[in-house]
Amino acid sequence: MRTAAKDADKKSAGKKESGTAASFKARMKALQETWDAARKREAFGPSVEDGVYEARLVSAAIAESRAGRDQIVYTYVIAEGEEKGTQVRDYDGLATEDNFFFIQQKFARLEMAIPEKVDQLEEALLNLTASKPLVRLRVSTRDNFTHAYIDRLLEGEGAADDDSDETEKEAEAEGGAELEVGARVQFNSPKTGKPILGTVKEIDEDEEQVVVTSDKGKDYTVDVSELALVEGENDDE
């Protein structure tokens, strides 16, 4: 009797293990589409070493971030040296006054007419892409986020070796040059649209999002493209 009972227990355990394995395989099969999507995603992080490069802006277009926010995606291709042919991407949000200021500054450096109305921006970006300007590009990486800053338009000239303090300050002033844990930032409240000041608490490079603790102690998860570096004392939530 005992032997029969042991055999029965073994069979029952075998069935449970078999069922567990089958269940696991089923769950993994259901995740195949997600796995395939992850394989197609581009790695997020620095594509080239920090430095100054001669590069061509080959694309500037409005797109939606993974978090569902509108942004401009700029694609540059390094035109010289060991990194020749490597792509570098940069982003500008389309929400705050600071976002728009940085976009307008970029147009000014590229000697492109700044659109008078925001609904003319898409056409202006098409014209910018068509012109494919050659620029002196400064690449800077902070917490695995790559930022690209246009020092000046080259118009076919060789890149000048000009690392002046003024150029460095311009690069640091443009959105996100010092984006790191502890940085002071501003973004618009998702509920009221009013500006909120806070401090960067965490950075998620995979999702391109940042956790910001407001000056009132509330945590927000914010798209990187929606942030602007600021100096401030109080916020209004």
* Interacting residues of 160 by C-beta distance below 8 A, sequence separation 6+: 136
- Residue 74, token pair as written in the block: 């700029």
Classify strands 145-153 and 70-78 as parallel, antiparallel or unpaired: unpaired
One-letter amino acid identity for 71?
Q
First to last CA, the chain: 74
227: closest CA among 184, 171, 172? 184
Taking the whole predicted model, whether its pTM rises above 0.75 is answered as no
Q: How many residues does the chain have?
A: 237
Q: Per-domain residue ranges for the chain?
A: 51-173, 184-229
pLDDT at 163: 45
Low-confidence ranges of the chain (pLDDT < 70): 1-19, 38-47, 143-144, 155-178, 205-207, 230-237
184-229 under CATH 2.30.30.140, yes or no:
yes
Cα(146)–Cα(203) distance, integer angstroms: 13
Cα(189)–Cα(197) distance, integer angstroms: 10
- Residue 62, token pair as written in the block: 């409005």
Residue for token pair 């910001």: 212
Q: What is the CATH number of domain 51-173?
A: 2.40.50
pLDDT at 176: 39
CA dihedral 78, 79, 84, 86 (to 10 degrees): 30
Query: What does the DSSP assignment read for 178-190?
Result: T-STT-EEEEE-T
Please check whether the two domains, 51-173 and 184-229, share a CATH topology: no
- Residue 98, token pair as written in the block: 């600071």
pLDDT at 118: 92
E-state strands within 23-97: 51-64, 70-78, 87-93
pLDDT at 200: 87
pLDDT at 14: 57
Q: What pairs with residue 196 in β-bridges?
A: 187
Instruction: Render the burial of 144-169: b for 16+ CB within 10 Å, e for the rest.
Output: ebbbbbbbbbbeeeebeeeeeeebee
